[in-house]
Amino acid sequence: MARHLGQVPAFLYEPPKRPLRGVGEVIGRLPAPGDIEHGGAMHRIPALQWQTWVRLAFVEPGKDWRCLNALAVQDGYLRDFAIQPEAAYQKGVLGVRHWEDRTGVVAGRSSPTNGAYSVADPRVEAHPKSVQLGVRSWSRAAPAIKTDVSVGTGPYAVADPRMAGPRFNNIFRIVPMDGVSPAVSGPGGPAGGLAVADPSGGETRHVNGKYRITGYDQASNAVIAASTTGNGACGVADPRTGYGPNAHRNKLRVVGADAPAPTVTTSDRVGSGALAIADPRPACLRPDRPDYRSQGHYGIVPWNGPSKLVSASACVDNGAWSVADPRPEAMLPALGERLVCVIIARDGTWHRPFTSLELAVLQNLVDPDNPLGFLYEGKSESAFREHVGNAIPPAAATAFGGEALRTLLMAEAGETFRLSDTPIWVRQLAVALSVDLRQRDAAL
């Protein structure tokens, strides 16, 4: 960079400045961090110590470790914060927020079925202009006509004042037998005065046959097409039941413990036979043992005690299927344990280190649209990250090399000056090593 005035008299100008892009704009084109299949081996997330992950989560965006001094630490633990496990799947589905609550982060699909995206609105009069099932007055202008113009989607109904008077006065009208029939309309149903009071049925029509039971020694009625009990005497009082007053005596019958069991049938349900027993041996009825005590409902098994036989329906409310776990601290890793984890920071984002591939993309060494086309010869990822940090971005090197080449070509052509709107990078007075002492003495 230092100019020797005897060989390069022309000035070396600064390269043009370009605006910087955001980190997310650059690495956002890469696959998700940790996606080795699409990003390559250099897209692994570095394994950090657990305490480092925690510290990263509490560093505010745009700041460094010094902001951690503002946190209150008591007995080696953060006093005002705690780490909460990740929320269960679909937590908050169909949830309703209080009017005073905060909404939190609004997701891309914010519907009531995937989160608490409803609110208990105390303003019952909050929608005076609601158009659902709206009715427009006769003198008002019509609303805009859209694709779906049903009454449930807007004010697409009208209060028509022309309906007064005897219009449609034939609805469900009964015409007397000696009266004049109205005009026969299209529908032809009772909605237009098309019913008649017919006296020809008689008082006993459809009376003697409705749900009539024929005696066993009586003559049968005529068999008609619709031979059901509701439209004729199609029932008979059959005296041949054979059961007597104790018909179906085995239904829901309970057998005593000292009585013989009935025959076991195919349909082994309590409703189809005597398949229940009065068992006098329930331990829960002993006066010295409360109900369900021996069944283990909501039972807690000691950590050093044996577990019971695991049944098919093992649940906390039907047996001793819970354990007193003395390892609450085992839920968190050791401070020095190296691992890859996701801790959602206070600002709702994941504070994580750059992957090696992302560092190479930031240095303009890798095309983010073709990350698999970049291959690094070596097995040490730390050495790769060191080389990436020492490298000059190709775009910056091109800009710098272009200006240096232009200055050298001017010196070779014998030109000593060119007009440029960019600042001079290497000035004559700024480069002490390139000053000709003889010229300096002559000038003095």
The per-residue pLDDT for 155 is 79
Domain for residue 343, yes or no? yes
Which amino acid, residue 311? S
Percent of the chain with pLDDT over 90: 3
Has residue 104 got a pLDDT over 60?
A: yes
- Which stretch of DSSP H or E encloses residue 52? helix 50-58
Average pLDDT over residues 188-216: 66
Domain for residue 285, yes or no? no
Has residue 400 got a pLDDT over 80?
A: yes
Range of the domain at 413: 12-16+395-443
- Cβ-in-10-Å burial (0-12, 13-18, 19+) of 198 comes to exposed
Has residue 432 got a pLDDT over 50?
A: no
User: Higher confidence at residue 72 or residue 229?
Assistant: 72
Domain for residue 56, yes or no? yes
Helix (H, G, I), strand (E, B) or coil at 218: coil
- Closest by CA to 359, choosing from 395, 396, 394, 384, is 384
Q: 275: how many CB neighbours lie within 10 A of its CB?
A: 19
- Closest by CA to 30, choosing from 355, 387, 390, is 355
CA 34, CA 41: separation in Å to the nearest integer?
9
Mean pLDDT of the chain: 76
Helix (H, G, I), strand (E, B) or coil at 25: helix
Contact 95, 88 (CB under 8 A): no
Average pLDDT over residues 13-20: 86
- The residue behind tokens 């283990």 is 296
pLDDT band at 106 (very low <50, low <70, confident <90, very high): confident
What's this model's pTM, rounded to 2 decimal places? Answer: 0.45
Domain count, the chain: 2
CA 98, CA 3: separation in Å to the nearest integer?
72
Task: Specify the range with the lowest mean pLDDT, choosing from 64-78, 258-272, 289-303.
Answer: 289-303
| Cα dihedral across residues 330, 336, 337, 341: positive or negative | positive
φ and ψ of 196, to 5 deg: -130, 145
Has residue 19 got a pLDDT over 70?
A: yes
> What are 334's two structure tokens?
């050791």
**Interval 269-323: pLDDT, tens:** 666 666 787 877 655 555 555 554 556 777 788 888 888 777 777 777 777 878 8
Has residue 417 got a pLDDT over 70?
A: yes
SS3 helix, strand, coil % of the chain, rounded to 5? 25, 10, 65
CA 61, CA 350: separation in Å to the nearest integer?
11
Burial track 293-329 (b if 16+ CB lie within 10 A, e otherwise) = eeeeeebebeeeeeeeeeeeeeeeeebbbeeeeeeee
The per-residue pLDDT for 268 is 63
The per-residue pLDDT for 430 is 45
CA 384, CA 394: separation in Å to the nearest integer?
17
pLDDT band at 431 (very low <50, low <70, confident <90, very high): very low
- Which stretch of DSSP H or E encloses residue 362? helix 356-362
Average pLDDT over residues 231-254: 67
CA atoms within 13 A on the CB side of 114: 6
- Which stretch of DSSP H or E encloses residue 53? helix 50-58
The per-residue pLDDT for 288 is 55
Q: 199: how many CB neighbours lie within 10 A of its CB?
A: 10
Average pLDDT over residues 418-424: 79
In the beta sheet, which residues pair with residue 350?
A: 344
Domain for residue 89, yes or no? no
The per-residue pLDDT for 398 is 92
Domain for residue 138, yes or no? no
φ and ψ of 50, to 5 deg: -60, -40
Has residue 39 got a pLDDT over 60?
A: yes
CA 316, CA 123: separation in Å to the nearest integer?
42
Has residue 83 got a pLDDT over 50?
A: yes
Has residue 166 got a pLDDT over 60?
A: no
Average pLDDT over residues 344-366: 88
Average pLDDT over residues 209-231: 72
The per-residue pLDDT for 438 is 57
Domain for residue 427, yes or no? yes
φ and ψ of 339, to 5 deg: -165, 170
CA 48, CA 336: separation in Å to the nearest integer?
9
Domain for residue 1, yes or no? no
- Closest by CA to 311, choosing from 322, 323, 319, is 319
Domain for residue 193, yes or no? no
